[in-house]
Each structure stands twice: as structure tokens, then as C-alpha cells.
């Protein structure tokens, strides 16, 4: 009997498509295998088999599957369940999830660009078709699959491409790959012949006449710990050349002397990478008493709850607690997923975990080459998968055979939410669902919980464990507010700097300590401000600052869509100097360099950190004291642990407070608390200068007193009053069309249809600040649904309305998509 396969295509289609299976290999096709299928005109895609059956679809003509790519499934049953949940909850297609989930190398299609690998050498003769493709590519090293197909005349070329990819003869072309350079370090070790005690003793005598070389050798022995315990260790600690020279205060000449004498040899080691060889691991650090209590509290809470929040102040040693929990989980033979926001996944954390877990740890980063991500994916399908995956948002899509624990560090980070394209998922929430599917537990960790999480934890839905002591009792910094409005008026500001901040920077530099200056990126959101009194126009319905649209010369509320005329005069002080405001990090850098010409200054923002290595270099330079002043956006607040920062300057709190978003106070608090947490040293309390024009704003007082709970209490009251999360779930409905007038009609029609279903839970339509993207105009409708209302039903109704819309002929060209739980 003829067999059929339902497949998921990497396209935003509402359902699976059915293809027939050629008899020769129909029986080899399993659910979760990839197949190549034709779709549309002359296009081929890699699709995933969702189901195999004997029912021929009636509605359309069934085409044959072209090729089977896998002998074994590359997707586990739990993953299908997870995809289904995502598509359902976030109102998108499974094809959208598929596209987000798999690394490019696993989802070839006609449009895929491939690249020749000049280093490839085959040990055996390649099959004729593969050689043909390779020859074409060596002549023109970057080509699209369709072109290769045409030029080679090979049918079913995707399977040939796949085979070449498996051999690493070619790569899937990526923009990122070019910028990625694995970070290597020069490390030092004793040459083989010297690695015994007898020879070392002789050396000590021989080098008596070269005391500098002897010193250097002794330093190496100390740093590597090679002589520890009984006899020479076969796996001493690795020592970098840089550190050795620094710690021994030796010159490269002295070092080279020892290399010439065949005592030392150098080798290159990649750091923070998948394949970094970790030969020796260290035992986990013992927890201190507070950490132990927190640890036990978490274990206890997992007895009755699936999710637990660890609310621990900055530098309380949350990571050490995670390490203990990870160790216990893998000892039971289960796997751990450790999620970090993209920007926080640095060498710092990688090395800390690698030191303990060695090669049981895999790292999944979007800025790693695709081939490497494919490798991890394949490895996780086998019995020999990594026990621990440390990764960013997209690692929730990796296959896990036996997940036992998920850790979501910095759970409050809004970068866990994918904005574009679909699926617009929140990795924290998705991870909780994923964990539940495996019967695993989820630990959320942060110093500044999101209001949603806090609400869930304090209402008893999640467990809650608090850790209020910093490790080694380093004090939390002193936060000093500075009223820059007053200073502006008295003309005592020096550009964006108050006299007090400048004084502290000067003192810090004199003491050879470091400074972080923080400027909120969102300061660039165009807003109008009265230069005289600091007044900022707000929406009368929503109490959020209005966004200034230069082109239209009007003010809009980001929320309700209401628009206002630009006032001629400030209603508060009658001043007429209303200006577009915001200053960037670049300007601050210029100013600082003029004020402190002798200091070395670095800037960390989106511009300076396009590549992973650039980002890590800025951090490493700062860590090693090569930089005195680090200026940055939110990036500088991301869970980094520096030892010599005694002053943090928050240049302008108001840009955060006035951002037009119901989460702006929450975020302002989180950001300021996080960035403040970077200040402080072992024996000295750090200082934070908090510059603001809204010195009486309650959030400012709450930041100063680190009063998280009061902040939350205030925010929860407002959220309840104005119908926002966690009391209401938001769904943004976006409509797109090429024709603006038609779109307005569509948006109004759709919103009134929605109103008949959802009543006054519907707001808008509104014109979003970016109201046209790629020739498509955009409108937005907001739907607010009570948190405990049946969401499945609500989603059904939404989709129903969408169907009704596109069924009307005049609205056929309407594009609709959703953002569920927008951030």
C-alpha cells in the first residue's frame, strides 16, 4: 500500500503538507527524519516528517518526497510536543518554529547559499556528483543551491549538498562566520623531558647563575601547581604566557631564554569553545552558610513545585549554587540546560563552568559558526550528548534525552524574548514549559526579578528562595543621588557630568581604580523635553511619555495610539525651549577623553560589539585593568564580575523613567540595581552616582534603598488598575499591507470584529512608531485578556476573526501576525 508522510515545511503555513513516499525507501522513513520536498514553483525545501500513514489527501494533488536525508530522526518526540506548544501559544506556524529551532546546516533549501571550503582534502575519491558540485564551487566559491542545480544538471541536489556538508567540504554561508575568530591564548608548559622531579632539581641548580630565569621557572611552578601533593602532577593548571610574565614581572627576553634552553614550550589554546580540551577539572567550591541554606531551600521547594525563583543580590554567589545543583543533577544521570541572555554568555562564565565540568559542558551560542551548532545538535541526539548545555535563548530547541534541570539566569532580562521574526517566544517561559514536558525542574535566578516572576513566586505558584548576603560580605554600594536639574539651572553641569561625578572619577583614577559610566540605550527614543524645567509630555490615558515623530511633527502614545499636537510652550513653566533630547555613548566618550586625557577609555555598545570577540576583548581589557573608564549601555550591567570598580556613574536616570512603556519603571529599577551591583571591591564599599532630574521620583528612592519589594508593590497596584501583566495577558495583533488606506480600513474592521468578541479588552488600532517596514504599512491592535481567562479559547477566537477577515475578497492581501506577551 502507498505510504504518505505529513511534513513540516520551513514556511509560515497553517498546517502540515502531505507527500507520497517512493516505495524503494518508504519503510525507512521515520517520524523526525528530514526529507527534501518540492514546494511551490521549482523550489525544494528540507522538511521534517511529522507523521507516516496510508491516507491519501483528497483536496490536492500529492507530490513525491524527493529524498530522505536521515536514517534516524533528528527530532525527539518531546521536541514535537514543544514545537506544537510554541506554535499554539505564540500564535504562529510550526514552520516558523522549525526555522528558529534548527541551525541552517540542518535545513537546506533551494535558496541556501553554500560556500567552498578551501582546506578540504578528501582521503577517498568523492562520488561523481559530489565532485561535480565541488568543482563548480571551487571555480566560484559562493553559490546558491538553485544555481548549482542548474549548472550541474543534477536532480535532487540537496542530498548531494548535505553529503558535502557532512564531510565539511562545503559550508552553509553565514554572515557571522567571517567575523568570528576563535579566541586563542598562548599558554606555557614544561617540555616533556623536564617534566620529572629529578630533572627539575638539576635545573634549579643550573639556573642559580641565571636568577631571573630561575624566578620565572619558580613562578610557573607556583601558578601551575605542578609540584603539589606527591610528585609531579600530570595535569597541572594551565598557565598563560601573559599571566606568567605579569606575575613574575619578567621580560619576554627572560622567557625566551628558557624556551631556548628547552625548559618551556608554548602552545595555543582556544578558549571558551566547544572543543577546548579540558583535561583536568577542579572540585566544586564549598558553599558558605547562606548559600547552603539557599541551596537547601531550592531542593526543598522542588519537592512540591516545578519552578523556583532564587532572588539573590548581586555577587551573592548564585552561580556557585547553580554549580552545586548541576553537579547533583548530572550525578543522577540527568541533563541540565543553563540559559543565559546572549550578551551575558561570556568567557568568564564559560571558564567557571568548564573548570568544574570539563568536557561534559557544551556551549550553544548564536555567534558560533553554524557547523559547530549542527555538531552539538547531532551530539545531543546520541547517548554521548553533553550533560550540560550552557546556551542562549535558542538552546531551548536542542534535543535533550533526559532533561532534569533548567536554570534561567538573569531571568528578568527582556532579551529572552524574541522580537522578530516569529516565533515571538519568551525563552524563560518556554523553558519552564519544556522542563515540565520532561518532568524536570526550573530554577530562575536574578538579583532583580521581573514583576511577573515575582508575582508567581510570592503568590505561591513558584517556590521562592532569598539570598541577601553578598559572598564574603562585600557591602552593597552607596548610591548617591544628584539632582542635575538644579545643576543645569545653575549652569554647573559639565556636559552630561555633575561636579560630584567628575570629582569621584578623578579620585578613582588617582587611586588606580576603575569607573563604569552607564547611559541607557533607550535614551535615543525620540522624546521632547523642556530644557528649562525638565517637563516631558505624557499620554493622558496611559501615563507614559509620548514619542516624538519628527516627520509628522507630532507626539504619539506608544500604547493606546493617541496622537497629540506638539505644544509651543511648556505647560509647567511656560518655557519655550522644548527640545528633542537624548545623548549617546559616543558623545560621552568624546567628552570624557577631553576631561581626562590621560585615562584609557573604552566604549561598549551595539556599535563597538558587533562581533563576539570585540565584546570579549572590551571585557577582558577592563578586567585586566588596561581600561580605566568603561562607558556603556545596558551591556555593562550584564552579570559581569569585576574586581576594581569603585565608582559607577548613572548619567541620566530619566531616559529610563520616561520611556513610553508600562514596564519602564520596572526596567529602570532593574537596570540601575544591576549596574550599581558592579561597584564595590573586596575591602571597600563602592559608590554609585545616580544623576537625575526627577530626584523625587519614587523609583529613585527605591533604587537608593535597594527596596525591591516596595517597587514591586507600587508597580503591581498600577498594573492591576490599568490592566497590565501579570493581571492581564497582552496580545498585540499586527496588520500589514502595502496600501495604507486599505490597511486602515482593514484595521478598523478587524478591531470592531474583535470588539464584538472581546469587548473593551480591545484597544486601537494604533499606528506603531515604526509604521512602515519594507514597503508594508503596519497597524497594531492591543488585546488585554484577564490572566485566568481560558487562553486556548481566546486564541481560537483571535484566529477565527483573522479567518473571517481574509475570507473577504477585498481583504485577501492582509497579513496578520501576533505578539503574545510582548516585551
Annotated binding site: 530, 533, 539, 542, 557, 560, 570, 573
312 binds ligand ADP (CB under 6 A): yes
92 binds Zn ion (CB under 5 A): no
* Shortest distance, position 348 Cβ to ligand ADP, whole Å: 9
* Shortest distance, position 317 Cβ to ligand ADP, whole Å: 3
Interface region with ligand ADP, contact rule CB under 6 A, candidates 83-91, 164-172, 281-289, 514-522: 281-289
Which are the contacts of 95, defined by CB distance < 8 A and separation ≥ 6? 8, 9, 10, 11, 12, 13
The x, y and z cell numbers of residue 11, run together, are 514556511
* Shortest distance, position 557 Cβ to Zn ion, whole Å: 3
Q: Is 266 or 572 the residue whose CB approaches Zn ion more closely?
A: 572
539 binds Zn ion (CB under 5 A): yes
- Cα separation, 633 vs 586, whole angstroms: 11
- Do the Cβ atoms of 396 and 337 come closer than 8 Å? yes
Q: Is 35 or 762 the residue whose CB approaches Zn ion more closely?
A: 762
Q: Is 344 or 798 the residue whose CB approaches ligand ADP more closely?
A: 344
Which are the contacts of 337, defined by CB distance < 8 A and separation ≥ 6? 388, 389, 391, 395, 396, 398, 400, 403, 405, 406, 407, 431, 434, 435
* Shortest distance, position 319 Cβ to ligand ADP, whole Å: 3
How many residues of this chain interact with ligand ADP, rule: CB under 6 A? Answer: 14
Interface region with ligand ADP, contact rule CB under 6 A, candidates 26-34, 282-290, 550-558, 700-708: 282-290
* Shortest distance, position 821 Cβ to Zn ion, whole Å: 20
Instruction: Tell me the residue number closest to ligand ADP, measured at CB.
Output: 317
- Cα separation, 530 vs 538, whole angstroms: 13
- Do the Cβ atoms of 641 and 444 come closer than 8 Å? no
DSSP string computed for 510-532 = HTT-EEEEE--GGGGS--EEETT
299 contacts which partner out of ligand ADP, Zn ion, none, CB within 5 to 8 A by kind? none
576 binds Zn ion (CB under 5 A): no
* Shortest distance, position 652 Cβ to Zn ion, whole Å: 17
- To the nearest 5 percent, what fractions of the chain are helix, strand and coil? 40, 20, 40
Q: Is 481 or 660 the residue whose CB approaches Zn ion more closely?
A: 660
- Cα separation, 204 vs 210, whole angstroms: 10
Q: Is 269 or 285 the residue whose CB approaches ligand ADP more closely?
A: 285
Coil, strand or helix: which one is 52?
A: strand
- Do the Cβ atoms of 465 and 302 come closer than 8 Å? no
Q: Tell me how far apart the terminal alpha carbons of the chain are, to the nearest angstrom.
A: 51
Q: Is 363 or 782 the residue whose CB approaches Zn ion more closely?
A: 782
Interface region with ligand ADP, contact rule CB under 6 A, candidates 201-209, 312-320, 518-526, 553-561: 312-320
Q: Is 10 or 582 the residue whose CB approaches Zn ion more closely?
A: 582
341 binds ligand ADP (CB under 6 A): no
**For the chain, how big is the Rg over CA atoms in Å?**
30
- Which helix (H) or strand (E) is 782 found in, with range? strand 776-786
295 binds ligand ADP (CB under 6 A): no
Which are the contacts of 587, defined by CB distance < 8 A and separation ≥ 6? 495, 496
- 368: which DSSP letter? S
350 contacts which partner out of ligand ADP, Zn ion, none, CB within 5 to 8 A by kind? none
535 binds Zn ion (CB under 5 A): yes
The interface with ligand ADP within residues 637-666 (CB under 6 A) comprises 641
Interface region with ligand ADP, contact rule CB under 6 A, candidates 284-292, 501-509, 532-540, 542-550: 284-292
Which are the contacts of 202, defined by CB distance < 8 A and separation ≥ 6? none
Q: What are phi and psi of 466, to 5 degrees?
A: -110, 145
Identify the residue among 291, 301, 637, 670 touching ligand ADP (CB under 6 A): 291
269 binds ligand ADP (CB under 6 A): no
Q: Is 30 or 532 the residue whose CB approaches Zn ion more closely?
A: 532
Identify the residue among 131, 152, 240, 532 touching Zn ion (CB under 5 A): 532
Q: What is the separation of C-alpha 95 from the centre of its chain, rounded to a whole number of angstroms? A: 22
- Cα separation, 271 vs 46, whole angstroms: 34
- Cα separation, 34 vs 72, whole angstroms: 9
566 contacts which partner out of ligand ADP, Zn ion, none, CB within 5 to 8 A by kind? none
448 contacts which partner out of ligand ADP, Zn ion, none, CB within 5 to 8 A by kind? none
Interface region with ligand ADP, contact rule CB under 6 A, candidates 117-125, 315-323, 501-509, 711-719: 315-323
623 binds ligand ADP (CB under 6 A): no
The x, y and z cell numbers of residue 394, run together, are 535558542
Identify the residue among 319, 519, 634, 670 touching ligand ADP (CB under 6 A): 319
Return contacts of 359-362, CB within 8 angstroms, 24+ apart.
359/277, 359/278, 360/330, 360/386, 360/387, 360/388, 361/386, 361/387, 361/388, 361/389, 361/390, 362/274, 362/386, 362/388, 362/389, 362/390, 362/391
Burial of residue 106, with CB atoms counted within 10 A of its CB: 0-12 exposed, 13-18 middle, 19 or more buried = buried
Identify the residue among 274, 287, 688, 816 touching ligand ADP (CB under 6 A): 287
317 contacts which partner out of Zn ion, ligand ADP, none, CB within 5 to 8 A by kind? ligand ADP
Instruction: Return the closest-CA partner of residue 495 out of 589, 579, 566, 417.
Output: 589
Interface region with Zn ion, contact rule CB under 5 A, candidates 164-172, 469-477, 528-536, 735-743: 528-536
288 binds ligand ADP (CB under 6 A): yes
Which are the contacts of 410, defined by CB distance < 8 A and separation ≥ 6? 340, 341, 344, 445, 446, 638, 639
Identify the residue among 572, 594, 606, 713 touching Zn ion (CB under 5 A): 572
The contact set with ligand ADP (CB under 6 A) reads 285, 287-288, 291, 312, 314-320, 471, 641
The contact set with Zn ion (CB under 5 A) reads 530, 532-533, 535, 539, 541-542, 557, 559-560, 562, 570, 572-573, 575
Amino acid at each position: 500500500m502507498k505510504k504518505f508522510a505529513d511534513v513540516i515545511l520551513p514556511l509560515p503555513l497553517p498546517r502540515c503538507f502531505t507527500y507520497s513516499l517512493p516505495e524503494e525507501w518508504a519503510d525507512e522513513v521515520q517520524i523526525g527524519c528530514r526529507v527534501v520536498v518540492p514546494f511551490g514553483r521549482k523550489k525544494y525545501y528540507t522538511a521534517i516528517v511529522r507523521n507516516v500513514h496510508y491516507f491519501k489527501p483528497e483536496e490536492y494533488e500529492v507530490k513525491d518526497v524527493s529524498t530522505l536525508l536521515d536514517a534516524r530522526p533528528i527530532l525527539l518526540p518531546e521536541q514535537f510536543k514543544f514545537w506544537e506548544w510554541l506554535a499554539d501559544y505564540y500564535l504562529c506556524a510550526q514552520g516558523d518554529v522549525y526555522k528558529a529551532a534548527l541551525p541552517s546546516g540542518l535545513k537546506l533549501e533551494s535558496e541556501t547559499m553554500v560556500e567552498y571550503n578551501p582546506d578540504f582534502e578528501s582521503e577517498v575519491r568523492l562520488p561523481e556528483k559530489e565532485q561535480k558540485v565541488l568543482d563548480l564551487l571551487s571555480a566560484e566559491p559562493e553559490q546558491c543551491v538553485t544555481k548549482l542545480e542548474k549548472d550541474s544538471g543534477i536532480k535532487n541536489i540537496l542530498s548531494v549538498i548535505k553529503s558535502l556538508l557532512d564531510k565539511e567540504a562545503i559550508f552553509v554561508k553565514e554572515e557571522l562566520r567571517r567575523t568570528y575568530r576563535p579566541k586563542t591564548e598562548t599558554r606555557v608548559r614544561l617540555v616533556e623531558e623536564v617534566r620529572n622531579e629529578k630533572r627539575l632539581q638539576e635545573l634549579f641548580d643550573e639556573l642559580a647563575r641565571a636568577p631571573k630565569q630561575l624566578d620565572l621557572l619558580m613562578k610557573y611552578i607556583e601558578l601551575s601547581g605542578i609540584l603539589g601533593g606527591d610528585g609531579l602532577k600530570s595535569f597541572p593548571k594551565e598557565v598563560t604566557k601573559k599571566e606568567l610574565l605579569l606575575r613574575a614581572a619578567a621580560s619576554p627576553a627572560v622567557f625566551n631564554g628558557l624556551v631556548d634552553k628547552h625548559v618551556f614550550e608554548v602552545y595555543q589554546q582556544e578558549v571558551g569553545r566547544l572543543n577546548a580540551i579540558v583535561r583536568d577539572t577542579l572540585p566544586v567550591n564549598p558553599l558558605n552558610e547562606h548559600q547552603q541554606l539557599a541551596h537547601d531551600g531550592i531542593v526543598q521547594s522542588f519537592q512540591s513545585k516545578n519552578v523556583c525563583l532564587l532572588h539573590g543580590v548581586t555577587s551573592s554567589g548564585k552561580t556557585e549554587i547553580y554549580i552545586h545543583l548541576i553537579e547533583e543533577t548530572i550525578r543522577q544521570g540527568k541533563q541540565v540546560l543553563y540559559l543565559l541572555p546572549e550578551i551575558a554568555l561570556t568567557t568568564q562564565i564559560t571558564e567557571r563552568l568548564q573548570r568544574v565540568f570539563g568536557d561534559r559542558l557544551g556551549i550553544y551560542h548564536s555567534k558560533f559558526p553554524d557547523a559547530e551548532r549542527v555538531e552539538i545538535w547531532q551530539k545531543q541526539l546520541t547517548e554521548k550528548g553533553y550533560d550540560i548545555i550552557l546556551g542562549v535563548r535558542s538552546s531551548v530547541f536542542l534535543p535533550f534525552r533526559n532533561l532534569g534541570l533548567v536554570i534561567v539566569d538573569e531571568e528578568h532580562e527582556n532579551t529572552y524574548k524574541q522580537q522578530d521574526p516569529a516565533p515571538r517566544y519568551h525563552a524563560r517561559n518556554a523553558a519552564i514549559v519544556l522542563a515540565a514536558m520532561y518532568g524536570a525542574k526550573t530554577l530562575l535566578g536574578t538579583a532583580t526579578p521581573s514583576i511577573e516572576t515575582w508575582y508567581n513566586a510570592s503568590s505561591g505558584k513558584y517556590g521562592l528562595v532569598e539570598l541577601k548576603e553578598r559572598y564574603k560580605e562585600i557591602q552593597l554600594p552607596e548610591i548617591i543621588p544628584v539632582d542635575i536639574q538644579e545643576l543645569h539651572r545653575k549652569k554647573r553641569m559639565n556636559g552630561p557630568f555633575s561636579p560630584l561625578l567628575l570629582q569621584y572619577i578623578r579620585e578613582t583614577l588617582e587611586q588606580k581604580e576603575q569607573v563604569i559610566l552607564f547611559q541607557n540605550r533607550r535614551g535615543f527614543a525620540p522624546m521632547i523635553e523642556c530644557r528649562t524645567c525638565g517637563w516631558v509630555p505624557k499620554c493622558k490615558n496611559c501615563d507614559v511619555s509620548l514619542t516624538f515623530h519628527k516627520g509628522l511633527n507630532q507626539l504619539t502614545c506608544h500604547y493606546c495610539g493617541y496622537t497629540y499636537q506638539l505644544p509651543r510652550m511648556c505647560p509647567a513653566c511656560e518655557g519655550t525651549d522644548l527640545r528633542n533630547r537624548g545623548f549617546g555613548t559616543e558623545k560621552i566618550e568624546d567628552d570624557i577623553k577631553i576631561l581626562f586625557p590621560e585615562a584609557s577609555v573604552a566604549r561598549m555598545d551595539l556599535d563597538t560589539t558587533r562581533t563576539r570577540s570585540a565584546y570579549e576583548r572590551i571585557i577582558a581589557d577592563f578586567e585586566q585593568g588596561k581600561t580605566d573608564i568603561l562607558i556603556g549601555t545596558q551591556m555593562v550591567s550584564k552579570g559581569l564580575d569585576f574586581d576594581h570598580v569603585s565608582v559607577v556613574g548613572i548619567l541620566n536616570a530619566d531616559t529610563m523613567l520616561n520611556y513610553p512603556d508600562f514596564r519602564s519603571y520596572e526596567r529602570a529599577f532593574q537596570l540601575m540595581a544591576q549596574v550599581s551591583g558592579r561597584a564595590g571591591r573586596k575591602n571597600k564599599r563602592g559608590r554609585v552616582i545616580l544623576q537625575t532630574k526627577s530626584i523625587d521620583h519614587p523609583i529613585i528612592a527605591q533604587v537608593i534603598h535597594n527596596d525591591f519589594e516596595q517597587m514591586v508593590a507600587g508597580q503591581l497596584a498600577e498594573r492591576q488598575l490599568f490592566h497590565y501583566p501579570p493581571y492581564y495577558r497582552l496580545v498585540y495583533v499586527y496588520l500589514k499591507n502595502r496600501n495604507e488606506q486599505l490597511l486602515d480600513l482593514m484595521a478598523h474592521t478587524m478591531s470592531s470584529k474583535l470588539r464584538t468578541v472581546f469587548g473593551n479588552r480591545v484597544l486601537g488600532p494604533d499606528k506603531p512608531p515604526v509604521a512602515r517596514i519594507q514597503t508594508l504599512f503596519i497597524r497594531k491592535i492591543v488585546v488585554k485578556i484577564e490572566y485566568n481567562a481560558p487562553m486556548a479559547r481566546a486564541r481560537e477566537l483571535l484566529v477565527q476573526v483573522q479567518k473571517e477577515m481574509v475570507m473577504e475578497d477585498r481583504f485577501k492581501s492582509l497579513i496578520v501576525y501576533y505578539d503574545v506577551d510582548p516585551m
